[in-house]
Amino acid sequence: MQIRKLNDLATLVSLSKRRGFVFQSSEIYGGLGSCWDYGPLGSLMKLNVKRAWWNAMTRRSDICGLDAAILMHPTVWKASGHIDGFSDPLVDCKDCKTRFRADNTDSYINEKKCPNCGSKNLSEPRNFNLMFKTHMGPVEDTGSVVYLRPETAQGHFVNFVNCQASTRYKIPFGIAAIGKSFRNEITPGNFIFRTREFEQMEMQYFVKPGTDEQWFETWKELRWGFYKKFGFKMENLRFHPHGPTELAHYAKAAFDIQYLFPMGWSELEGIHNRSNFDLTQHSKFSGKQLEYFDEPSKEKYVPFVIETAVGCDRMFLAFMCDAYREEVTMDDKGQEDVRVVLGFHPAIAPIKAAVLPLSKKPELTSVAEKLRDQLAEDFDVLYDESASIGKRYRRQDEIGTPYCVTVDFETLNDQAVTVRHRDTMKQDRVPIADLNQYVQVGMASWK
Ligand code: GAP
């Protein structure tokens, strides 16, 4: 058998639409640039991605959760440096009207030429802020301007004292959050890789100054371990250290975890040593003390912050790319038979088990429907009675369902069903009464 991996995003975009993972936003109106909707399977899977991350963070005894508002006091963005520094230098071509980035367009950097028409009739680079602006309240004047947050992290900083005081956590401790962020990206694209509206999963870990470098290493290891635990092929991941020109304005040190997407190695997650930049800035702009008092040593200090930041949509895409495989065999006539499989870790798979009656005869479908309800007590399940059993197995393989449960005529006698495993295609006979536990145990011990 030959295994083919994913080699272009178009295959995934098409599968996503056909099977209900991801649709283009406002498709019936021609779509809206770089915005995407998660469909019946995608919305389930996205919840699973978030749950995996959330549990990895907040089930630790030293990390609490937070769900901060998207709209924040405008001074937050002054303090954070986003109003002054969160921008890209843009150049306009006066001939073909193309607008492009001055800092990553080769034809401009080398020859001061438009990448589209080659003209040299260009504007000077102008800084374009990536934050989306809107107005709060009925009057649209400069005093009512608010921003859609470009990162969730600032919610953590402004709530540092609230979280510490209410949990009574001692340093080192962390705050984790999942939420929408917005950036008016100049070059969005590659499906859900870079969009203008996206979800972030960010954790800020507050540490004593001087211990930050050690915690930075620890969080690099912990985040690497997360991808390993959820079944990523580790050869598709690597660390990329930020050089001095890549470092964000707040960062003392930074590493990306990059993933080998079909378009090449690209950032999946960032791990940053943000020093005490943010808390110091918010203290200065708000006039509030954002310090930590260490009782045993009677020391007062502004903590340093180690941040782990990943896009939920980007992690979703990485999970899909990594899980996709085509198993190719030759049939008797020498024709290729292709089994498309999304080999997700069961915690990530949108559907854990599919219930498939062997025929549409009521004596089988009535048992199968009851079994669907029994499994749905514990798992996201799907019922399918149309087409041949072989076709139905293939449909489930393509959406990554780990278990297919077939109700056959023998079931009426032995009260047992056949469970077929997605990856090995091996089959087991399991009593109906034990089925939920069988799936539970199988998922927990999945390798
Ligand atoms: N608080 C730090 C921060 O926001 P970042 O590297 O700008 O750092 C963190 O973003 C992560 O958020 C990225 O590694 C990426 O996974 C995700 N992300 C950033 N911009 C994105 C976009 N336009 N679309 C989708 N995901 C994005």
Name residues whose C-beta falls within 8 Å of residue 251's C-beta, 6 or more positions apart in sequence.
242, 272, 273, 274, 275
Please tell me if the CB atom of residue 80 comes closer than 6 angstroms to any atom of ligand 1.
no
By C-alpha distance, which of 224, 221, 247 is closest to 236? 224
- What are residue 339's DSSP bridge partners? 327
| End-to-end CA gap in the chain | 21
pLDDT tens digits, residue range 113-150?
999 999 999 999 999 899 999 999 988 888 889 999 99
Distance 345 CA to ligand 1 centre (A): 24
Lowest pLDDT segment from 8-12, 95-99, 177-181 = 95-99
Distance 200 CA to ligand 1 centre (A): 7
pLDDT tens digits, residue range 284-316?
999 999 999 999 899 999 999 999 999 999 999
Number of the ligand 1 atom closest to the C-alpha atom of 194: 24
Please tell me if the CB atom of residue 267 comes closer than 6 angstroms to any atom of ligand 1.
yes
Q: What is the pLDDT of residue 29?
A: 97
- What are residue 423's DSSP bridge partners? none
Please tell me if the CB atom of residue 420 comes closer than 6 angstroms to any atom of ligand 1.
no
Domains of the chain: 2-74+145-320 (3.30.930.10), 351-444 (3.40.50.800)
What phi and psi values does residue 332 have, to the nearest 5 degrees? -55, -30
Region of 344 on the Ramachandran plot (φ > 0 left; ψ -120 to 50 alpha; else beta):
beta
pLDDT tens digits, residue range 58-117?
999 999 999 999 999 999 999 999 999 888 899 999 999 998 889 888 899 999 999 999
Please tell me if the CB atom of residue 151 comes closer than 6 angstroms to any atom of ligand 1.
yes
DSSP string, 273-322: E-TTHHHHHHHHHH-----EEETTTTEEEPPEEEEEEEEHHHHHHHHHHH
Number of the ligand 1 atom closest to the C-alpha atom of 256: 14
By C-alpha distance, which of 256, 203, 34, 37 is closest to 130? 34
Judge if pTM exceeds 0.85: yes
